[in-house]
Structure 1
Amino acid sequence: MPTEETAPPVTAFMLIKTQPEWLAMTPQERLDAFTGQVLPAIEARTSGVRSRFYDTEFYSTRVTDVWVWEADDHDAYQRLIDALRETPFWDRYFEIVDLLVGTENGYARTYGFDPVATVTTAPARAR
């Protein structure tokens, strides 16, 4: 029985910079704003999206955070962005510096190759 091929997930690396309004809030106010304003908008408008958040302000002044969003498909990703744009997240709490969107191992699917990936282990520490 042939297997049905599904579209690969869409991964978006959202490079953002915090804005003064966000930084003026206490940490609890930031959590309340995110869980009270941003998350409900996402949950109401889309499904099939997951996120991870990385702080980069220790190493960069242009980009303070990288938010990685994985969506089941392009439609779910588009609904996510539409939802975010209707909240204070977009251009009020954060400046969207850049969006880098792709699919993992796209070259391998295009050319029928097995994906190439690396796995390394930490070298033994000298004592």
Structure 2
Amino acid sequence: MSTAPTESPVTAFMLVKTTPEWLAMTVAERVRAFTTDVVPVIEARTRGVRSRFYDTEFYSARVTDIWVWEADDHDAYRLLIDALRETPFWDRYFEVVELLVGVENGYARTYDLPPAATLAT
């Protein structure tokens, strides 16, 4: 068994669909809404959380965007979700379609194995 720490970074793939309310806003209004209604709550209520954003509406009608959230541990992830649910992000600006949460190379940590990954050459 591995002697690695029990907590490991958590990655969440949050599949969302934009709502009519979000789409009715201009780009400037969207930026303002996100930076004033969502970001301050995340910053005030979380720690050890990072995000990346991917547009997918070009390829999918069901999911228009994917937010990739990386949290230092499960508690940081829980705080993030609690914070998001108290903002217009959750079910006003975006419908959360699916949450896929995992730990990178969890099996390798459990069995004390090297991760199976490919590298570009």
Scaled by the length of structure 1, the TM-score of the pair is: 0.90
1:64: which partner in 2? 64
Is 1:16 the counterpart of 2:23? The answer is no
Query: Which residue of structure 1 lines up, in the alignment, with residue 7 of structure 2?
Result: 7
5+ long unaligned stretches in structure 1 = 122-127
Amino acid at match of 1:62: R
Partner of 1:30: 30
Residue identity matched to 2:22: W
Number of the residue aligned with 1:48? 48
Amino acid at match of 1:12: A
Q: CA–CA distance in 2 between the matches of 1:78 and 1:48?
A: 11
Task: Work out the CA distance in 2 between the residues paired with 1:73 and 1:8.
Answer: 6
Corresponding residue for residue 102 of structure 1: 102
In the alignment, the residues of structure 1 paired with residue 54 and residue 107 of structure 2 have an alpha-carbon distance, to the nearest angstrom, of 26
Aligned residue pairs, count = 119
CA RMSD, 1 decimal: 1.4
Residue 44 of structure 1: SS of its match in structure 2?
helix
Match of 2:77 in 1: 77
Amino acid at match of 1:33: A
How far does residue 112 in structure 1 lie from its aligned partner after superposition? 1.3
Q: What is aligned with 1:125?
A: none
What letter matches 1:50 in structure 2? R
Between the aligned partners of 1:91 and 1:16, the Cα distance in structure 2 is 10
Give the structure with higher Rg (CA): 1
How far the C-alpha of 1:120 sits from its partner, in A, is: 3.0
**Aligned-partner Cα distance in 1 for 2:4–2:50:** 24
What is the identity percentage for the equivalent residue pairs of Structure 1 and Structure 2?
Answer: 76
The structural deviation recorded for 1:6 is 5.9
- Alignment deviations for residues 33-66 of structure 1 (CA, whole Å, 9 cap, x no partner): 0000000010111110000000000000000000
Taking structure 2 as the reference length, the TM-score comes to: 0.94
Q: Which amino acid aligns with 1:25?
A: M
Q: Distance in 2 between matches of 1:67 and 1:101?
A: 12
Structure 2 unaligned residues grouped into runs of 5+: none
Contact 2:7 2:74 survives alignment (8 Å): no
